[in-house]
Amino acid sequence: MPTDTTMTRPERSSVDRAHARRCGEDTVSCPRTLPTRLAGLACVAATAWLLVAPASATAEQPGVERTITVVGKGSVSVTPDKARLSVAVVTRAKRADTAAEENARATDAVLSALEKLIGPDDELRTGRYSLGADYDYVNRAGQRERKLVGYTASNSVIVTTAVLDTVGKLIDAAVAAGANEINGLEFLLSDEADARRRAIAAAGALALAEADSIAKSLGVRRGALLEASTAESSPPPRPMMRMAMAAESAGADTPIAPGSIEVTARVNAVFAIE
């Protein structure tokens, strides 16, 4: 009797059939070894990365803002409209009270002389007063010794006037009355605001012109203003040289030329590049 060689596949257990469904197989068994499971997980991970990676690579990156930074400097020359004069009376005597008394008399005479020349809006005041001992140093037996020789009193008077034509006369009158030092003469501006505004306008125009020149040389277009700041500098007083006055020079006329004062400003600007 012939032998039936047909082999029937052993029926799988319920666990095998469930595993086969998870592996996507319906007729053959899926090996459930550890390396196969790891390979399947790696395949799934790689597929997930391929789905996500293109979106991250094409995301828009923030660009670096391109700018032009310039500095403009402007200045205007203005004629001063005020003058400040400082004169002093310096007296010396053997005694302190004598030096002080002589100084007081001479200072009163200087004040009276100046008051006759200044206008109602001008200012006259005491600037500084000092009284101190004077010493001389001598060598005795190889030793340096200090010796009192007298006292010096000094009283300075400051006058501020808006009538510049009288400055020379004020100097002459002060010296004739007893002032023997001119501590300083300065020319000022009573109102600097208008001069500052004009200096800033000049500086801003120069900064804009420089930004346009830079943009043109680079083949780009200047964009909107992004940032701006100013740095102002107050005009310093225009000083005259300090000089000591001798009493005999009182008869000479003192010529005064105010000249001009320069007011400067700086504008820092940042423009975008289109």
- Compute the average pLDDT of residues 179-183: 94
Buried b vs exposed e over 30-58: b needs ≥16 C-beta within 10 Å? eeeeeeeeeeeeeeeeeeeeeeeeeeeee
Give which of 106, 111, 134, 133 is closest to 122, Cα–Cα: 111
Beta strands in the chain (DSSP E): 67-78, 82-93, 123-140, 143-161, 181-188, 222-233, 238-240, 243-244, 261-273
pLDDT tens, 206-258? Answer: 999 999 999 999 999 999 999 999 986 666 655 554 444 444 444 556 888 88
Could you give the CA distance from residue 119 to residue 144 in angstroms, rounded to a whole number?
Answer: 54
pLDDT value, residue 11 = 52
CB neighbour list of residue 226: distance below 8 Å, 6 or more residues apart: 67, 270, 271, 272
pLDDT tens, 95-124? Answer: 999 999 999 999 999 999 999 999 899 999
Domain residue spans in the chain? 64-80+191-237+256-274, 82-188
pLDDT value, residue 231 = 81
pLDDT value, residue 124 = 95
pLDDT value, residue 226 = 95
Could you give the CA distance from residue 214 to residue 50 in angstroms, rounded to a whole number?
Answer: 47
Amino acid in the structure at residue 269: A
The CATH code of domain 64-80+191-237+256-274 reads 3.30.110.170
pLDDT value, residue 109 = 97
pLDDT value, residue 238 = 56
pLDDT value, residue 247 = 41
Contact 147, 137 (CB under 8 A): yes
Could you give the CA distance from residue 179 to residue 91 in angstroms, rounded to a whole number?
Answer: 10
214 phi and psi angles, rounded to 5 deg: -65, -45
CB neighbour list of residue 59: distance below 8 Å, 6 or more residues apart: none
CA distances to 79, 136, 236 from 261, rounded to whole Å, are 6, 44, 8
Could you give the CA distance from residue 224 to residue 92 in angstroms, rounded to a whole number?
Answer: 69
Nearest 5 degrees, angle CA 214-CA 271-CA 72?
Answer: 65
Strands 243-244 and 222-233: unpaired
- Compute the average pLDDT of residues 171-196: 92
pLDDT value, residue 143 = 84
- Within 13 Å and on the Cβ side, how many CA atoms surround 155? 22
CB neighbour list of residue 198: distance below 8 Å, 6 or more residues apart: 74, 76, 263
100 phi and psi angles, rounded to 5 deg: -70, -40
- Compute the average pLDDT of residues 248-274: 82
pLDDT tens, 16-55? Answer: 554 445 444 444 444 444 444 444 444 434 333 333 333 2
In this model, does residue 199 exceed pLDDT 60?
yes
CB neighbour list of residue 228: distance below 8 Å, 6 or more residues apart: 204, 267, 268, 269, 270
Buried b vs exposed e over 2-15: b needs ≥16 C-beta within 10 Å? eeeeeeeeeeeeee
Amino acid in the structure at residue 127: G
The top-level CATH class assigned to 82-188 is alpha beta
pLDDT tens, 46-89? Answer: 333 333 333 222 233 356 789 999 999 999 999 999 999 999 99
Q: Give first-to-last CA distance, the chain, whole Å.
A: 99
